[in-house]
Amino acid sequence: MEIIFATGNTHKAVEAQKALGDSFTLIMPKELGLTEEIPENGDTLQANAIEKAEYLWKRFGKNCFADDTGLEVDALGGAPGVYSARYAGPDKGSEANMTKLLAELEAAAKRGETSRKARFRTVVALILEGEMHLFNGVLEGEIALQRSGSEGFGYDPLFIPDGYTKTLAEISLDEKNAISHRGKAMRALAEFLRCLPKAR
Ligand code: IMP
């Protein structure tokens, strides 16, 4: 089955393809000639995932899904959350985001908030023949004192999953997929698609 995945992030596309398996062919919007940014104006992960999926459905009328992921840090009241991509500013990348996160946690520790507990949360919105379906995945863990590892992307070098002593950037993509927020949401999506009646 062909399905459009609303992302321009090749890391995400590779992760999603691995989680979904060979019976699904993921198409990235740029392969369909879409060059503009897909809008993402919501103030929740779910609203953003829905907005991105609806944008593609309206544009192409083909089965599609979008994900939105946020990092929720307890000592920061759940920040950066839905603003994870723009945490250090609209035009800043992952390095600046991680630098800001470490600085904010240091400031929080000075105020007595010493917890490093955090979680990644993913919401996936699927539009299948015009109907919306939602899937979720969560990965609990903590924020490391410093970056380690070069695998993965985003905040991976700072995130140590519960039960691990390494960051997500120090483990293989297969291992990350087996435990990750996105892996869980993608497997729920894949399970749902596999269980559809064949006639659809
Ligand atoms: P979005 O879902 O692409 O909007 O991602 C929001 C922010 O979280 C971006 O800064 C991403 O780099 C980061 N992010 C998303 N997924 C992951 C992940 O699996 N690991 C680390 N960072 C991630």
- Residue 124 CA to ligand 1 center (angstroms) comes to 13
The rounded Å distance from CA 69 to ligand 1 centre is 5
- Cβ < 6 A, ligand 1 pocket: 9, 67-69, 71, 84-85, 94, 97, 120, 152-156, 168, 180, 182
> Which amino acid residue places its CA nearest to atom 13 of ligand 1?
154
pLDDT in tens, 62-99: 999 999 999 999 999 999 999 999 999 988 999 999 99
Ligand 1 mutation pick, 40, 45, 67, 71, max ligand atoms within 8 A of CB: 71
C-alpha torsion sign, points 85, 89, 93, 98: negative
Q: What's the pTM?
A: 0.93
User: Is residue 66 within 8 Å of 134, Cβ to Cβ?
Assistant: no
Residue with CA at minimum distance from ligand 1 atom 12? 154
pLDDT(200) > 70: no
Quick check: 45 pLDDT over 50?
yes
| Separation of alpha carbons 62 and 41, rounded Å | 22
CA 85 to ligand 1 center in whole angstroms: 6
Pick the CATH number of 2-194 from 3.90.950.10, 3.40.109.10, 3.40.50.2300, 3.10.20.740: 3.90.950.10
Closest CA to 162 of 102, 104, 114, 119: 119
Closest residue CA from atom 9 of ligand 1 = 85
Has 68 been annotated as catalytic?
yes
Q: Does 35 score more than 60 pLDDT?
A: yes
| Angle of the 10-20 helix axis to the 181-194 helix axis, nearest 10 | 50
Pocket test for ligand 1, best of 68, 155, 170 (most atoms within 8 A of CB): 155
For residue range 137-192, what is the model confidence (pLDDT) as tens digits?
999 999 999 999 999 999 999 999 999 999 999 999 889 999 999 999 999 999 99
Handedness of CA 200, 178, 87, 94 (dihedral sign): negative
12 C-alpha to center of ligand 1: Å? 9
